[in-house]
């Protein structure tokens, strides 16, 4: 846990889970495997795809993201496996 925090605060890795609503990021890398990974990619979460984090559910989980023209809901647990980079 603490390792993770350090890594993130150092700006090494940003995960979709940590992106605030209203921000746009690019997908960098998937850290999941198997069916989950396939499903995320099928939904269009491919490398270099822009993703808008639209909102979090009223209870903070899951989150709603927009890709291209469609909206997808996914749990934070899965969002935490998607490495992203900020767009400047």
Partner 1 sequence: MRQEATIALLGQQNAGKTTLFNALTGARQYVANYPGVTVEKKSGRYSFNGQSTLVVDLPGTYSLTSFSPEERVTQEFLLTQKPQVCVNVVDAANLRRSLNLTMQLLEMGQNVVLALNMLDVATRRGITISVDQLSSRLGIPVVETVGSKGQGCKNLKEEISAVEQLTNSSAYEIDYGPLEGSIKDIEAMLVGTNVSLPASSRWFAIKLLEQDQYATQLITKLCEASVVTELEQKVSEANRCFFDQYGADISDHVINVRNAIIRSIISDALTTKGTGRGSVSKKIDSVVLNRIGAPIFLILTVYLIYQASIVWGYELTNYTWPYLAKTREILSGFLPAAGFIEDPYTRALGLWLIDSANTLLNYVPIFLILFALIAILEDSGYMARIAFILDRILNRFGLHGQSTLPLILGGVFAGGCAVPAIMATKGIPDNRARMATIFAVPFMNCLAKVPLYTLLLGIFFVEDKSLMTFYISTMTVIFALLVSKLLTKTVLKGQETSPFVMELPSYHVPTIGGVLRRSIERTWVYIKKVGTIVVAVAVVVFTLLQFPGLPEDRMQHYEAQAVVALDKFQSKVAGSAYENLASEAEVVGLVNFYNDYRRAKLNAKGAAASRKVAKDFKARNAEFYAVVKPPKGDKDAKAASRALRKLIKERNSLRRDLKEERLSSSLLGAIGRSMEPVTQYAGFDWKINIALLSSFAARESSVATLGVLFQQSDSENASLEERMGDETKAGGATALLAVSMILFFALYPPCLATTVMVRVQTGSYLWMVFSILFPTFLGLTVSSIVFTAGTYFSLTGIEAMSIVYFAALALVIAIGLKSERTNSGTLINNRHSSEVSL
Q: In this structure, how many other beta carbons lie within 10 angstroms of the beta carbon of residue 61? A: 13
Contact pick of 25, 53, 78, 84 for partner 1 (by CB under 8 A): 78
Residue 1 binds partner 1 (CB under 8 A):
yes
| The binder of partner 1 chosen from 8, 55, 85, 86 (CB under 8 A) | 55
Residue 9 contacts partner 1 per CB under 8 A? no
Nearer to partner 1 (CB atom), residue 39 or residue 86:
39
Nearest to 84 by CA among 60, 56, 51: 51
Is 28 among the residues that bind partner 1 (CB under 8 A)? no
- Report DSSP letters for 16-79, one per residue: GGGPPTT-EEEEEEE---HHHHHHHHHTT--TT-EEEEEEE-TTS-SEEEEETTEEEEE-HHHH
Q: Give the residues lining the site for partner 1 (CB under 8 A).
A: 1, 4, 30-36, 38-44, 46-47, 54-55, 57-62, 64, 67-78, 80-81
């Amino acid at each position: 846990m603490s390792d993770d925090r350090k890594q993130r605060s150092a700006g090494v890795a940003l995960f979709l889970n940590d992106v605030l609503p209203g921000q746009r990021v690019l997908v960098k890398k998937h850290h999941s495997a198997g069916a989950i990974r396939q499903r995320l990619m099928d939904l269009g979460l491919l490398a270099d795809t822009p993703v808008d984090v639209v909102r979090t559910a009223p209870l903070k989980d899951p989150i709603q993201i927009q890709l291209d023209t469609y909206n997808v809901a996914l749990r934070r647990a899965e969002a935490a496996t998607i490495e992203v980079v900020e767009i400047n």
